Amino acid sequence: MKLLASLILTGAALAVSPASFAAQGAPAPAKADLAKGEAKYAAVCAACHGADGNSAIPANPKLAQQHPQYLAKQLQEFKSGQRGNAVMKQFASDLSEEDMKNISAWLASKQAKAGFAKDKELVALGERIYRGGIAERQIAACAGCHSPNGAGIPAQYPRLSGQHADYTASQLSSFRDGTRKNSLPMSQVAARLNDREIKAVADFIAGLR
């Protein structure tokens, strides 16, 4: 039965493979238009997130060099309400799927500016949590998903390196209190962190590179 199921699934996969679509003349997915992405970003996003995606406002995230799949997903979820934020919902609601794809691709092409940690007393604690977690409380190491240097994993986990500490801390707190609900793994991790630990991790991430 397992072999039969495997053969059926393999056959189904072959039936819808890119090659079969190409043979039938189906169009390939359109590539992102960086020029359109830049223009739309300048009109809609730059005032809050910086002309090149490097926000100068600690409460607003840096978006430069972020994985495009992650950015597009967040915009879609702001628009649908799955990720709650009244301001972002208003902006995202005016964007088409093509706009989101183009903006995300343009931002991914921009270089993120390095940040820095501010609290010497907490940064060591933040590094321990980021790199090793807290085993006795079953808190996983951040590096496991977001990589040791904070680069993240494309299409799965966002880049964190150099992100404003204020923004990171606010998002961890939102995951913890249930205000932000669009990532179950992050909600589970944040639920086990106290205020001091959140502040420490956020400060360490700000200087990570």
In a domain, 147, yes or no: yes
94 domain residue, yes or no: yes
**Tally of CB atoms within 10 A around 206:** 29
Q: Which amino acid would we find at residue 70?
A: Y
In a domain? residue 29: no
Give the per-residue pLDDT at 30.
79
Could you tell me if 141 and 94 lie in one domain? no
Q: Letter for the amino acid at 97?
A: E
**pLDDT single digits (tens) 90-141:** 999 999 999 999 999 999 999 999 999 998 889 999 999 999 999 999 999 9
Q: Facing residues of 157 across strands? A: 153
pLDDT of the residue at 49: 98
For residues 175 and 200, membership in a common domain is answered with yes
49 lies in a domain? Answer: yes
136 shares a domain with 104: no
pLDDT tens across the length of the chain (209 residues):
433 334 333 333 333 344 443 345 555 567 999 999 999 999 999 999 999 999 999 999 999 999 999 999 999 999 999 999 999 999 999 999 999 999 999 999 999 999 999 988 899 999 999 999 999 999 999 999 999 999 999 989 999 999 999 999 999 999 999 999 999 999 999 999 999 999 999 999 999 99
* Residue 5: inside a domain: no
Distances (CA, A) of 127 to 41, 73, 142: 34, 28, 10
Is 64 inside any structural domain?
yes
What pLDDT shows up at residue 121? 86
pLDDT at 6: 42
In this structure, how many other beta carbons lie within 10 angstroms of the beta carbon of residue 122? 19
Q: Does 100 lie in the same domain as 125?
A: no
Structure pTM?
0.84
CA distance 180 to 85: 9
pLDDT at 28: 58
Asked if residue 141 and residue 100 are part of one domain, the reply reads no
- Are 48 and 102 found together in one domain? yes
Say what the pLDDT of residue 29 is: 66
- Which are the contacts of 193, defined by CB distance < 8 A and separation ≥ 6? 129, 139, 172, 176, 201
Look up the CATH number of the domain holding residue 94: 1.10.760.10
Of 108, 128, 148, the residue at which a domain comes to its end is 108
Total count of domains within the chain: 2
Query: Do 74 and 147 have their domain in common?
Result: no
Residues 6 or more apart whose Cβ sits within 8 Å of residue 196: 122, 125
In a domain, 2, yes or no: no
SS3 168: helix
Q: Please identify, among 43, 75, 108, the residue that sits at the C-terminal boundary of a domain.
A: 108
State whether 102 and 180 are in the same domain.
no
Residue 88 lies in domain: 34-108
User: What would the 3-class secondary structure string for 174-207 be?
Assistant: HHHHCCCCCCHHHHHHHCCCCHHHHHHHHHHHHC
Boundary (domain end) residue, out of 82, 108, 134: 108
Instruction: Give domain status of residue 86, yes or no.
Output: yes
